[in-house]
Structure 1
């Protein structure tokens, strides 16, 4: 049984949507009010196929993770000629990818656990090579995430373009950012936290791979206490990573276990937040309408997403 506090049983013993249950019709309608100007910003990084372009040198990703494979299943050149009808031709794509560590993505509640139980006490034995028959990403896809988003810009708060690999963002810092911006994340909100770390890739991929900044353990508990539905960041793992690509926390303090496993709070990682941060700074706001819908991959531990911020 996980260390309390947690959300196991809060929405019934069969629940597979976790904190997304906060997104009631009333909450969704209220979130629409966070869109005031109609300006839309995509928060996704591009998906570039490693076999057809310079993706290994142009798109941030974790070392050792397989990059997306994108190629044409039908075209007019190195593959079979496209179907011709009255002189017209077509092209078609094939895409193979592992979302974790290589794309902007959303974690399913079956992505990480401890012991023999998934979130809400579902048996971990239901996660196998053919997919997860409990808590797969299709349960999040069934309703999507349409909520008020709140940007907490840790890099701007510290007066830097990006944090250092060894930096950790604690609960007190998150509270200080909220006090500065006059915001208070609460039930049904998506908290979006900017470290600026993707900028490092353009400077030196080796430094990007030397570790990553992220949340400290008490920040995860602080967010869970506020009943947010999702935590989204521009780093690769929400928590910080060491040079070995691992986090240093034990099971009691691991951010994925605190948020995904204990609290049913979905995670979104590897977002591009610089444009959003600039736009919000211009209008002196921190909130917006956040929209993200994962693919309905049955039994998937995660899915690529194209998150949208509507100002």
Structure 2
């Protein structure tokens, strides 16, 4: 990566201030202003947010790992061994207990008023989660059994089939629903993943035949105009078609941080909103992920697909709950988190919020190495830079993890097979996706089958091996990744076998043993 000259914008946090103290200090006013949508005013008032480049200069990247022309990124790690690991996460238990869960938040067309009107945030209205500037997609019939629709309402011949058909009557914003981000979706310092020029994000495509559609459709306010669409612009590098063609299949794990550390919502399973930058309980750190995994008895292995639940999606369904698009809880930056994701070769990460990470973050001295204390400050979406642009780690946003999380909490089984592929839309910045999880369950367990003294399972007694911190992965001439690396725990980070064995005490351990071994003779 390119080195940058850097001078700190302020000395906040440079003297070892705690995360809570820092958030209540210089970062609070900026975070509050950004949460209200006044980004330019906030920037002028605080001299920030700080540029992401210097923060990430010394962090690892995967540029060139899979070839100089690679546009798929860390999904390359998901080979046959990883697919088999996902299957094993189900078949190691009683196969009759397998159940499937879909993770897409439905596209209803309902709008959260605060995002489409002058209503102030936080809002108690419900609707489809969407980022400010995008309104909900609404479809309508243009053929059905009524007298008001078009030619397809008429059967081709007496006694033949008649059909209903529909179309979106408003734009379908790809980033406005459950979706996977393309690696070219985000960048900094003029470069995308693998060093591609940011200018490629405005690659034109011309069509011989015009199609009536919307012109002047911009992120800034403006009146769209109907006309003939004969040229479009999109990602010339790193578009979502790469992930769509490859598909994403592997062993997945759920880290239910909301259930483990939540303080709000039903049974205290939601993390709080953080519209001002003052509430550290909304910020998910690497240590929080570790503690959640330990509490669940979950072993995170190399090349696992990691899903994180905060409770954010449930807020948008609860008419009594406050919600703020820019105040959702989520992951926050630290050097250790980036190095962990790199060393563990995490290929894919998803969450139930709008951005996986918090929109506004305060990086303190606790989050960076001792020689990087001058990099503390306020940042916007730094993990998108680290994950998408540097590591090529695909992000899946706005997932509905509520049903999956309830089942995991009931039976103590937080591993499963994850499968999904975003819609193949050429040159698109992302793709709508409805991931399917196949998971062993303990729904058929009885009280007599539970025990307080679980026996170790095969997974719990595997020999732990050290993660290769150099993380060198061989790539042959065809770009195929050598997947001989064993799936292992992140040694030294609290994700190991001992934690898993302890976490499986009681019902969870008994359920796992009973499912694996089948009913007693």
What TM-score do you get using the length of structure 1 for normalisation? Answer: 0.89
Per the alignment, in what secondary structure is the counterpart of residue 242 of structure 2? helix
For residues 55-70 of structure 1, the aligned pairs below 5 Å read 57-70=126-139
Higher helix share: 2
Contact 1:295 1:304 in 2 (8 A): yes
How many residue pairs match? The answer is 302
Q: Is the 8 A contact 1:20 1:188 kept in 2?
A: no
What is the match of residue 401 of structure 2? 273
For the 8 Å contact 1:220–1:255, the answer to whether it is kept is no
- 2:173 aligned partner: 98
Give secondary structure in 1 for the equivalent of 2:183: coil
Q: For residues 62 and 332 of structure 2, what CA distance do their matches in structure 1 show?
A: 21
Q: Which SS does the other structure have where 1:237 is aligned?
A: coil
Q: Superposition RMSD on alpha carbons, in Å?
A: 2.4
Aligned pairs for 1:239-250 (under 5 A) are: 239-241=357-359, 249-250=378-379
Counterparts of 1:5-84 in structure 2 under 5 Å?
Answer: 5-36=60-91, 37-49=97-109, 57-77=126-146, 78-81=148-151, 82-84=153-155
Is 1:149 the counterpart of 2:252? The answer is yes
Of 66-75 and 159-168, deviating more is 66-75
Contact persistence 2:110–2:126 (CA under 8 A): no
Say if 2:109 and 2:127, in contact at 8 Å, map to a contact too.
no
Instruction: Quote the Cα distance in structure 1 between the aligned partners of 2:126 and 2:287.
Output: 36
Could you tell me which residue of structure 1 aligns to residue 500 of structure 2?
none
Query: How far apart, CA to CA, are the structure 2 residues paired with 1:122 and 1:186?
Result: 31
**Distance change >3 Å, CA 127–CA 31, structure 1 → 2:** same
Q: Is the 8 A contact 1:186 1:227 kept in 2?
A: no
Q: CA deviation at 1:285?
A: 1.2
Query: 3-state SS of the aligned residue for 2:139?
Result: strand
Quick check: 2:254–2:309 contact (8 Å CA) kept in 1?
A: yes
List per-residue Cα deviations over 1:24-81 (Å, max 9, x = no partner). Answer: 1222122211124320011111112359xxx984323333312113122322333214
Q: Distance in 1 between matches of 2:411 and 2:305?
A: 20
- Gap regions ≥5 residues in structure 2: 2-55, 92-96, 117-124, 203-231, 263-267, 275-281, 361-376, 440-521
Contact kept, 8 Å, 1:151 with 1:192, in 2: the verdict is yes
CA deviation after TM superposition for structure 1 residue 170, in Å: 0.5
Q: Deviations over 1:58-109 (max 9, x none)?
A: 3233333121131223223332141313343111121341121x31111010
CA distance in 2 between counterparts of 1:239 and 1:28 reads: 27
Q: 1:207 to 1:293 in 2, by over 3 A?
A: same
2:189 match = 115
1:11–1:249 CA distance, 2 compared to 1 (3 A): farther
Q: Shift of the alpha carbon at 1:309?
A: 1.1
Secondary structure, in 3 states, of the residue corresponding to 1:71?
strand
Query: Partner of 2:295 in structure 1?
Result: 180
Unmatched tracts of structure 1, length 5 or more: 243-247
Shift of 1:177: 1.4
- Which structure has the larger Rg over C-alpha atoms? 2
Q: Secondary structure at the match of 1:39?
A: strand
Is the contact between residue 418 and residue 435 of structure 2 (CA under 8 Å) also seen in structure 1?
yes
**1:245 alignment partner in structure 2:** none
Query: With structure 2 as the length reference, what TM-score do the two structures score?
Result: 0.55
Match of 2:271 in 1: 163
Distance 1:203 1:190 in 2: 32
Alignment of 1:292-311 (within 5 A): 292-311=420-439
Q: CA deviation at 1:224?
A: 3.6
